[in-house]
Amino acid sequence: MSLTGKNALVTGGSRGIGRAVCIRLATMGVHVFINYVSNPKAAQETQKIITDAGGSADLLAFNVADAVQAQNAIKGLIKEAGSLDILVNNAGITRDGLMARMKEDDWDAVLDTNLKGSFICAKAAARSMMKKRWGRIVNISSVIGFAGNAGQVNYASAKAGMQGLTKSMAREFASRNITVNAVAPGYILTDMTRDLPEEIQEKIKAEIPLASLGSPDDVAGAVAYLVGDDSAYITGQTIHVNGGMYM
Ligand code: NAP
């Protein structure tokens, strides 16, 4: 399906799931703004993959957890491009540790990036979408937000919070023809999970009915569906992309 003429911002689009989402949206005719915070080389690689395939993309560096930086960057994007039609809140980090030893900084960093960052970006993006009376917001949450996980109270809380954010925004923005949905990946092979010890990966696989970790493209497919016309009557929902590990 073609979304030619639409502009999308993918936070954390430089690597992993965000990169796959950027590439997928570009194949649908979308002009993609690739956000990153620390890794310009990876973001440039994503941009090159897109332009080599005939798509169009720009880079946009900012920290989603810094309200002033993020708002200014998104304002600038809207001014330059004319509109922001699609937002994928994908930027995320982990700072794992058992609760008894978890530092407040680790709690704050994960909540600020994953949850507050999504709120900040969505608030800034929604202005343009409301004006155009068309918009798509997709929040990348996680199976951990539904099932919980020892060693990830910060991450699980942030991702569970994104579910509340998704449903509340869906209700607030529906009258302006803006849909807001979430995609909750299970274990996907990216930099975030690559360093898990082999035996932990085997343990995880044993809990997955489809018996393998997912790929970033598996998640990108669900995002592509949620931004396209086929999902126009779907809002406030979550697509679980997890090989069946949580039903
Ligand atoms: P990843 O490979 O570690 O990539 C993280 C991306 O987020 C990078 O592009 C990074 O930018 C960006 N980022 C981090 N902090 C940022 C900030 N403050 N501002 C702007 N960008 C920031 O992660 P991933 O595995 O692809 O995960 C992507 C999303 O999916 C995350 O929200 C994650 O929680 C979620 N998820 C992942 C899995 C999984 O198994 N991998 C499962 C469930 C959910 P730089 O390149 O500049 O550092």
Question: Ligand 1 in contact with 15 (CB < 6 A)?
Answer: yes
Measure 113 CA to ligand 1 centroid, in angstroms: 10
Question: Ligand 1 in contact with 38 (CB < 6 A)?
Answer: yes
> What's the rounded Cα separation, in Å, for the pair 192 and 34?
18
Question: Ligand 1 in contact with 17 (CB < 6 A)?
Answer: yes
> What's the rounded Cα separation, in Å, for the pair 213 and 78?
37
Give the per-residue pLDDT at 5: 94
Question: Ligand 1 in contact with 140 (CB < 6 A)?
Answer: yes
> What's the rounded Cα separation, in Å, for the pair 60 and 132?
22
- Maximum CA pair distance of the chain? 51
> What's the rounded Cα separation, in Å, for the pair 79 and 90?
23
* Rounded mean pLDDT for each run of 10 residues along the chain, 247 residues in total: 90 98 98 98 98 98 98 98 98 98 98 98 98 98 98 98 98 98 97 88 93 96 97 98 97
Give the per-residue pLDDT at 106: 98
What radius of gyration, in Å, describes the C-alpha atoms of the chain? 17
Measure 184 CA to ligand 1 centroid, in angstroms: 13
**For the CA of 112, the nearest atom of ligand 1:** 18
Instruction: Find residue 9's DSSP bridge partners.
Output: 33, 87
Give the per-residue pLDDT at 192: 87
Give the per-residue pLDDT at 16: 98
> What's the rounded Cα separation, in Å, for the pair 175 and 152?
36
Q: Count the neighbouring beta carbons within 10 Å of the beta carbon of residue 58.
A: 16
Measure 191 CA to ligand 1 centroid, in angstroms: 8
For the chain, give the secondary structure using H, E and C: CCCCCCEEEECCCCCHHHHHHHHHHHHCCCEEEEEECCCHHHHHHHHHHHHHCCCEEEEEECCCCCHHHHHHHHHHHHHHHCCCCEEEECCCCCCCCCHHHCCHHHHHHHHHHHHHHHHHHHHHHHHHHHHHCCEEEEEECCCHHHHCCCCCHHHHHHHHHHHHHHHHHHHHHHHHCEEEEEEEECCECCHHHHCCCHHHHHHHHHCCCCCCCECHHHHHHHHHHHHCHHHCCCCCCEEEECCCCCC
Question: Ligand 1 in contact with 18 (CB < 6 A)?
Answer: yes
The pLDDT tens digits of the residues spanning 50-76 come to: 999 999 999 999 999 999 999 999 999
Out of 93, 111, 144, 215, give the residue to mutate to test ligand 1, the one with the largest number of ligand atoms within 8 Å of its CB: 93
246 noted as active-site residue: no
Give the per-residue pLDDT at 218: 98
> What's the rounded Cα separation, in Å, for the pair 92 and 158?
10
Cα distances (Å, whole numbers) of residue 160 to 37, 55, 112, 173, 226: 24, 34, 14, 20, 20
